Amino acid sequence: MPTIVPTPRGTGQCLDDEGAYYFLCDYLEIDHSLPDPVKLAETIADLHRQSVSPTGMFGFHVTPYDGKLPLAADWDPSWVSFYGKLLAGVYKLDLEANGFWKELDEAMETTLEKVIPRLLGPLEQDGRSVKPCLIHGDLWEGNIGTHPETKNIYIFDSCAYYAHHEMAIGMWRVDHHRMKDEEYRNEYFKNFKPDEPKQEYDDRNRLYCVKERLMYSAHVPGSQTRAQALEDLVYLVENFGY
């Protein structure tokens, strides 16, 4: 969907710095106020629906970076396996930034061993499968713009990889982003329905949000998102850690 991003014009290596590279794209006059929920939902759902993984698997052909931090996103045919490795990698980044916390470590261990197989496993059982969809990977309001005249939605500064389409909406639950209003999630799921079992989609959204909270915690040591991640994990362990 080339119409929802600034048109790329060129890339290359900087001649005076062997470790530096440049990327050039069109400059757009865009409005950074909160995007229209209906227009955004339609746009992002179309991206997820139309995208096709080149390998048929989850992951990406290069390491995606969320800001300065890398994600564990090697190709994997199983969403359960892929998300477990992704979350474990983000937790490791958080540990390096914030240090060991016994309660968080215990909750994470149970989540990786029991919650993820229990909560995400049914997506790949009884003949069901998860489509690997191309997601932006860091889709908060600061990475979304609206053209003031055409009202077209543009997205940029991605941390892209192929994932479960519901994964992209975990970002819209994070408290420190202004797009946390349920209207955004609800509008998206009108355009791209949650997968079965549908009654557990909000719990899956909470699980996906944990990755986003810990990612922010790794970027901003000492932030409250670490404690919020623990709250979510405790809830998930109590309900799915068996």
For 20, other C-beta atoms within 10 Å of its C-beta total: 9
The one-letter amino acid code at 59 reads G
Specify the pLDDT at position 80: 98
Specify the pLDDT at position 169: 96
C-alpha to C-alpha distance for 237 and 235, rounded to whole angstroms: 6
SS3 call for 210: helix
Q: What is the largest CA-CA distance in the chain?
A: 57
- Structure token pair of residue 150: 């055409």
Q: 145 and 30 in contact (C-beta within 8 Å)?
A: yes
- Per-10-residue mean pLDDT of the chain, 242 residues long, equals 95 88 93 94 97 98 96 98 98 98 98 98 95 97 94 95 97 92 95 97 98 97 97 98 90
Q: 83 and 166 in contact (C-beta within 8 Å)?
A: no
Domains defined along the chain, listed by start? 29-240 (3.90.1200.10)
Q: Hey, CA dihedral for 28, 68, 1, 164, is it positive or negative?
A: negative
In which element (H, E) is residue 66 found?
A: strand 65-66
Angle formed at CA 94 by CA 93 and CA 98, multiple of 5 degrees: 125
- Structure token pair of residue 60: 């990406």
Specify the pLDDT at position 155: 97
Give 160-177 as a DSSP string: -EEE-GGGGGGGGG-TTS
C-alpha to C-alpha distance for 43 and 102, rounded to whole angstroms: 41
- For the segment 154-203, what is each residue's pLDDT rounded down to a tens digit? 999 999 999 999 999 999 999 989 999 999 999 999 999 999 999 999 99
Q: Hey, CA dihedral for 83, 88, 94, 98, is it positive or negative?
A: positive
Q: 175 and 211 in contact (C-beta within 8 Å)?
A: no
